[in-house]
Amino acid sequence: MEPRIDLMANELGARIAKRIYGVAVAIQQSPLPQATQDLVMLRASQINGCGFCVDYHTKDAAAAGESAVRLHLVAAWRESTVFTEAERAALALTEEGTRIADAHRGVSDQTWAEVREHYDDDQIVALVSLIAMINANNRLNVIVRNPGGSYEPGMFAGMAN
């Protein structure tokens, strides 16, 4: 499977990607736990069928020390015992925020209340922003058909410069 276009080889695409990466860095440096960020990015990418992003976020999470058991169970988190209540709230928000078009009500009040119970305002801003950004990244990669399998942890680290 070949990508339809290499966004990074295009001057405008590279400028846009650099700015998207800058937002990702701001979220990564937020007080939202990195493990939660990794789980959220992986779950949204699974829902959206983004092979590149599933590959990217699985490998980065594993390199950061996330267990294989938790990574394998993200897709079935509701039927798993390996996630904290806070992570479960974040995963529920991720699913509802990712499936807005499928759920005319958007994010439920119950899910929002669970998120508020576990996270402070800065963490919620980071979480909501992360869900929006990973969905945008998923769509970019799915539209241009970037395949999964070739990502190496840290390969985009110098991109913000």
What is the arithmetic mean of pLDDT over 17-40? 96
What is the arithmetic mean of pLDDT over 81-110? 93
Number of domains the chain is built from: 1
Residue 52, domain CATH: 1.20.1290.10
Q: What is the pLDDT of residues 66-85, one digit of tens each?
A: 999 999 999 999 999 999 99
Parent domain of 104: 33-153
Query: Which of these ranges, 87-96, 130-139, 150-159, has the smallest mean pLDDT?
Result: 150-159
- Show the tokens assigned to 130: 């992360």
Q: Is the dihedral of CA 25, 27, 33, 35 positive or negative?
A: negative
The long-range contacts involving 72-77, CB below 8 angstroms and separated by at least 24 positions, are 74/39, 74/42, 74/43, 74/46, 75/43, 75/46, 77/39, 77/43
pTM over 0.85: yes
Position 6 in a domain: no
